[in-house]
């Protein structure tokens, strides 16, 4: 790892945290049974930038630490949610194109995060929470993630490093 790599990872982590903090006034949109965590758009970046893998992991970890006071999910979300983001980012980096790269974060967050989120909302069954988180992740990664990739490509193409 060099200074440039660490700087990129740090900037991506900071951006992830900022995007999550900006969502806090919207209530449970960043952590509830229906999640559209805009910061998850950054999970598509590992497709084109290796430093995004540790960047989104650290950003998610810090954001989940901040959100633990608002969400009440505690340690399971801090550790579990962050590790799912790490695995999603790694798997995304191995995908052959941006269409398949959307799958790891959508599937993993939808199926695994829903396990503990549904336990905090007993009035909702597991599959309802899977749908809420999965669709939200699809919006965040599929729509906003592609905007991030487009912006990243434009910046890189015009010589901004």
pLDDT at 161 over 60: no
Long-range contact set of residues 18-22: C-beta below 8 Å, sequence gap at least 24: 20/59, 20/63, 20/66, 20/67, 21/63, 21/66
pLDDT at 85 over 70: yes
> What is the residue range of 125's domain?
3-157
Q: Are 113 and 89 in contact (CB under 8 A)?
A: no
Pick from 102, 140, 139: which is nearest to 16 by CA?
140
pLDDT for the residue numbered 61: 95
Which three-class secondary structure state does DSSP give residue 155?
helix
Provide the number of structural domains found in the chain: 1
Confidence of residue 25 (pLDDT cuts 50, 70, 90): confident
DSSP-derived letter for residue 40 is G
Rg over CA atoms, the chain: 15
Confidence of residue 7 (pLDDT cuts 50, 70, 90): very high
């Amino acid at each position: 790892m060099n200074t440039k790599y660490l700087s990129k990872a740090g900037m991506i982590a900071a951006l992830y945290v900022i995007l999550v903090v900006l969502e806090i006034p919207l209530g449970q949109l960043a952590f509830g049974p229906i999640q559209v965590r805009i910061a998850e758009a950054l999970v598509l970046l590992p497709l084109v930038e290796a430093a995004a893998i540790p960047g989104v992991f650290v950003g998610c970890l810090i954001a989940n630490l901040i959100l633990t006071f608002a969400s009440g999910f505690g340690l399971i979300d801090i550790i579990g949610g962050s590790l799912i983001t790490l695995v999603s980012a790694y798997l995304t980096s191995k995908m052959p194109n941006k269409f398949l790269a959307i799958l790891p974060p959508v599937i993993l967050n939808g199926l695994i995060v829903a396990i503990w989120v549904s336990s905090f909302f007993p009035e909702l069954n597991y599959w309802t929470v899977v749908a809420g988180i999965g669709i939200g992740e699809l919006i965040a990664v599929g729509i906003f993630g592609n905007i991030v990739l487009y912006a990243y490509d434009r910046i890189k193409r015009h010589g901004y490093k």
